[in-house]
Structure 1
């Protein structure tokens, strides 16, 4: 048995902060216009994402490492009082989903990933789709695409030192204190030891409309039925590079994994267009459905691989808010998807042929 390398372990513990900035820099591009900088185009933003990390052709430009899963979604009693979406009246809906790590290197060790993601696709029997994209952080790093871009620029390593310019970072945090709050969370937040007990949050707000025309602004989260168990620093030091994926297989061999979809309902005055501001815990909540996961398989040949989990693909009864970061996410996913599809069509993809075919 090899002896654990303490230096490797300490480096892994330091990865979350550096990786948060580097990875988030790859997540979004504002396709609808400029970032307040007329030298920056959406194409250049995606070029930046591709230049960071160890991007592989055919893979997502961010959250490249992942695993597909399948299961069902069942609406909770009373969910239809909040939204007329068919998902809340159909008894059971098949689900295709994906867990992901935050790096744009598809071979990054699971222990090096500071953020985990969950995305799901629900297709109801009336032909409508609902795609949900969530992450394990409780709020987003920046309040606007412009602030996000400023963070990207400040976090870019200086070629002379290999590290971000501290003066640029200091100025950024002074101008955008929400970014400092996010970095503080990333530094101190415990990591769960399993995807199966991880909570995933939708930090953007959406509008639910019921059959009576009543509207409510909500944010949702997937909350695991399993109790959260924190990964210890010692476990992180010696963790298998794919321990999250292997743990998932072990757990599913013993039965399904279950999450409750919970909607937090905004009160008047709550920030519905600023994902960097969490709503108070005192806001009313409603469980609106249950996700039951029964199967997982590698993304290389799984049905989630070629699926674009655009958070603005929504059914009647659910609408996106005016949050500009939400719009940016949708635009970025589209750019990433189109580039991946082109690489696959040109035979440049690092993936094998997908037996499920291309899924939109």
Structure 2
């Protein structure tokens, strides 16, 4: 019988971690390549995620939207989009999903109510050819239209290392140099955060194509529109750093939280490749169905914790537009996923080695 000694266990563990890390690196590199990151663009996914994570790395967490809460439930399709897309998710019926509500920022312990942006992400038909991943935010449009300009926007908004505060002059200069930010700034000036994750409206921001059985395509954007009003939700404890999470948990345990997924159809006057321009309210809107949230879990325990909500993972019957920001999102998501997944594996290996050492003492 072969006896595994204390000195052998760490070697085996490290080998496994290295192998897994290498596999993830190959996957991430392939994702970055096909997302167009290695095609001479000024900004790489690595540089972009470096800027997002800031000077303090929170190992094992997302580099953006680090703080979140897992949710689950069903997408109840009306079937009304089936004339525009062959995707099975849009056929009338119910499909399970896992999702995540989050706030902007790289700090997993940040106060919920201090974040300027909130997000809703979900995935249906996980690990199948019909998988659909969605990542939405509260702004309806982007401030800029290219990855390079977005990178510069983040630089302008980043706190000065010496003071720890943002530089108003730098921010003003950036937006003055980017008149395409007009619609975004108008939204920002009039936006008041809702008192609940459950009563926010979330937007796809970028446009996508739906493909029907005849091979025709239709550009669309969509919104997750809440069914509940502010006065219907549970009381918000504004003194708690986890106010939004606590309230959502309380609400889900009381009754399901619902959002209608409303798709706006572009016409020939709309540019689906420019995320800075809002489409007119006169465009046709179709209610594709409802997200019905019935369960929740903490992100370090729930299924959403390890999920990469890359919006470029689309089912048959959908495809990405040529929007440069949309194309870059997949690369940044992959880079963030690779980093946190590798950190998680290394931490598990370290814990395992320490446990093996303790057991042999």
**TM-score normalised over the length of structure 1:** 0.80
Indicate the SS of the match to 1:185. helix
Which residue number corresponds to residue 274 of structure 1?
A: 274
Question: Could you list the per-position Cα deviations for residues 259-279 of structure 1 after superposition, in whole angstroms to 9, with x for gaps in the alignment?
Answer: 111100001121211111111
Paired with 1:276 and 1:240, the residues of 2 have a C-alpha distance of 35
CA-CA distance at 1:126 after TM superposition: 6.5
Unmatched 5+ stretches in structure 1 = 1-27, 353-360
* Shift in alpha-carbon separation, 1:165–1:328, aligned structure 2, 3 A: same
CA-CA distance at 1:50 after TM superposition: 2.1
Q: Equivalent of 2:117, from 97, 112, 115?
A: 115
Which residue number corresponds to residue 149 of structure 1?
A: 151
Question: Could you list the per-position Cα deviations for residues 253-309 of structure 1 after superposition, in whole angstroms to 9, with x for gaps in the alignment?
Answer: 221111111100001121211111111111110011211110011111000000000
Give the stretch that moved more between structures: 162-171 or 312-321. 162-171
CA-CA distance at 1:335 after TM superposition: 0.2
After TM superposition, list the pairs within 5 Å mapping 1:319-358 onto structure 2: 319-347=319-347
* Shift in alpha-carbon separation, 1:167–1:114, aligned structure 2, 3 A: closer
CA-CA distance at 1:147 after TM superposition: 1.5
Higher helix share: 2
Aligned 8 A contact 1:31 1:328 in 2? yes
After TM superposition, list the pairs within 5 Å mapping 1:1-360 onto structure 2: 31-36=37-42, 41-52=44-55, 54-89=56-91, 91-123=93-125, 127-159=129-161, 162-179=164-181, 181-228=183-230, 238-347=238-347
Question: What RMSD, in angstroms, separates the aligned Cα atoms of the two structures?
Answer: 2.8
CA-CA distance at 1:91 after TM superposition: 2.0
Unmatched 5+ stretches in structure 2 = 1-31, 353-361
Aligned 8 A contact 2:203 2:223 in 1? yes
Question: Could you list the per-position Cα deviations for residues 226-275 of structure 1 after superposition, in whole angstroms to 9, with x for gaps in the alignment?
Answer: 124699xxx89x43211111111211122111111110000112121111
Paired with 1:348 and 1:176, the residues of 2 have a C-alpha distance of 45
Paired with 1:230 and 1:277, the residues of 2 have a C-alpha distance of 33
Indicate the SS of the match to 2:82. helix
Indicate the SS of the match to 1:247. helix
CA-CA distance at 1:343 after TM superposition: 0.6
* Shift in alpha-carbon separation, 1:350–1:58, aligned structure 2, 3 A: farther
Aligned 8 A contact 2:51 2:155 in 1? no
Aligned 8 A contact 2:183 2:278 in 1? no
CA-CA distance at 1:210 after TM superposition: 1.1
